[in-house]
Amino acid sequence: MGAQLRVYRQKIKSAQTTKKITRAMELISASRIQKAQARVAASTPYSRAVTRAVSAVATYSNVEHVLTTEPEKIERAAVVIFASDRGLAGAFSSQVLREAESLSELLRGQGKEIVYFLVGRKAIAYFNFRNRASERIWTGGTDQPQFETAKEIGEALLETFLTDYADGGVDEIHIVYNRFVSMVTQVPEVVRLLPLEVVEGVEEPGDNKVLPLYEFEPDVETVLDSLLPVYIESRLFNAMLQSAASEHASRQKAMKSASDNADKLITDYTRLSNNARQSEITQQISEIVGGADALSSAKK
């Protein structure tokens, strides 16, 4: 067998093995998207209920709370980045990191210091490679987020938020994550988590109705105190679930195009190797014919 032919056969084989892997990953992601989407849907009643409750407090009372009041001067901001643990998901992690970078630029332009909270190994690798510091990191389970993790992140964020600037606290918190729009579109999104701006889902009291008397038990401050952390957690958990669904969708897309590319490579190399084999045979025939000719002419 000619050397050329052997090289082509090797390349075909390697493309075939790669294709097997990417195909398997594609199928796995495809089946997990459904689950991830179902989890987003299942957590919706909770976040809706929490949002409505917070809106109710915000609408029917005039309490000033430390989490909702805008600080006079924002000196330091925290940015929470939700990336993935594993790569091979197309632009998933890089687009969220790019979004975070442009947000950082904006915040720095406003004269704010920035501290980072990272979720997912890819974000951490990105920061380590550039020798940049981060405040806290969480890894593991970005593709199947647990509520406990959201709770932990929420607590850590609240603690930093409630600390004074002089002691290393922050005055505002942004989160950057991939929002799941559809199977083909995932948009990186920036949301300011704290101080809170609760506007969505407020049920406007009708024009002719008097503002209903809302009763808070034990009192407004206590209700807000326990409600707002819950609200933050639910926002974080929602971001994590969205990000997980996006991760699967974007991995499926990336793996599908990888499998398609492998297919194309295999076809191309098969053609080339057929060519090589054919020219080898042609060469052999002409050698035999040439040899026979030489022999028969020598006999004469």
Partner 1 sequence: MAKSLSVSVVSADQQVWTGEVTMVVAKTVEGEIGILAGHEPMLAILAAGDVRLTLADGSKVLAQAEDGFLSVDNDVITIVARKAELVGSK
Name the site residues for partner 1 (rule: CB under 8 A): 39, 42-43, 45-46, 49-50, 52-53, 56-57, 60, 147, 151, 203, 212-218, 222-223, 226-227, 230, 233-234, 237
Q: Closest separation between CB of residue 63 and partner 1, Å? A: 12
Task: Give the nearer residue to partner 1 in terms of CB position, either 58 or 124.
Answer: 58
Q: Closest separation between CB of residue 32 and partner 1, Å? A: 16
d(CA 234, CA 154): 9
Task: Give the nearer residue to partner 1 in terms of CB position, either 145 or 188.
Answer: 145
d(CA 190, CA 30): 26
Task: Give the nearer residue to partner 1 in terms of CB position, either 62 or 131.
Answer: 62
Torsion of CA 45, 47, 49, 53, to 10 degrees: 180
Task: Give the nearer residue to partner 1 in terms of CB position, either 126 or 138.
Answer: 138
201's torsion region: left (phi>0), alpha (psi -120 to 50) or beta? left
Task: Give the nearer residue to partner 1 in terms of CB position, either 24 or 49.
Answer: 49
Closest residue by Cα to residue 65 from 155, 160, 161, 157: 161
d(CA 79, CA 240): 15
DSSP character at residue 204: P
Q: Closest separation between CB of residue 45 and partner 1, Å? A: 4
Query: Which residues are bridge partners to 81 per DSSP?
Result: 118, 176
Q: Closest separation between CB of residue 227 and partner 1, Å? A: 6
Q: Which amino acid is at 30?
A: A
Q: Closest separation between CB of residue 43 and partner 1, Å? A: 5
